[in-house]
Amino acid sequence: MILWAVDRGCDVIALDLAEERLERARALGAQTINPAREDAIARIKAIHGTVMVFGRKKALTDAYIDAAGAPSILRDVVTLAKTHARHVITAAYLKPIELPAGPMLTTEMTITTAVGYPTEMPDVIAAMPRLQDKIAALISHRLPFDRVIEGLDIAAQPQSAKVMIEFADSAA
96 three-state secondary structure: coil
pLDDT digits (tens, 9 = 90+) for 2-21: 999 999 999 999 999 999 89
User: What is residue 122's predicted lDDT score, i.e. its pLDDT?
Assistant: 86
User: What is residue 123's predicted lDDT score, i.e. its pLDDT?
Assistant: 86
Q: Give me the average pLDDT of each 10-residue run along the chain (172 residues).
A: 92 94 93 96 97 95 93 92 96 90 92 82 88 88 94 89 84 48
User: What is residue 172's predicted lDDT score, i.e. its pLDDT?
Assistant: 46
User: What is residue 170's predicted lDDT score, i.e. its pLDDT?
Assistant: 47
User: What is residue 144's predicted lDDT score, i.e. its pLDDT?
Assistant: 95
Q: Which of 58, 80, 77 is nearest to 68 (CA)?
A: 77
| Pairing verdict, β 110-113 and 139-144 | unpaired
Residue 63 has phi, psi (to 5 degrees) of -145, 145
Which domains, and CATH codes, for the chain? 2-117 (3.40.50.720), 138-172 (no CATH)
Q: Which of 165, 168, 160, 153 is nearest to 24 (CA)?
A: 160
User: What is residue 120's predicted lDDT score, i.e. its pLDDT?
Assistant: 79
Q: Which of 44, 112, 42, 100 is nearest to 74 (CA)?
A: 100
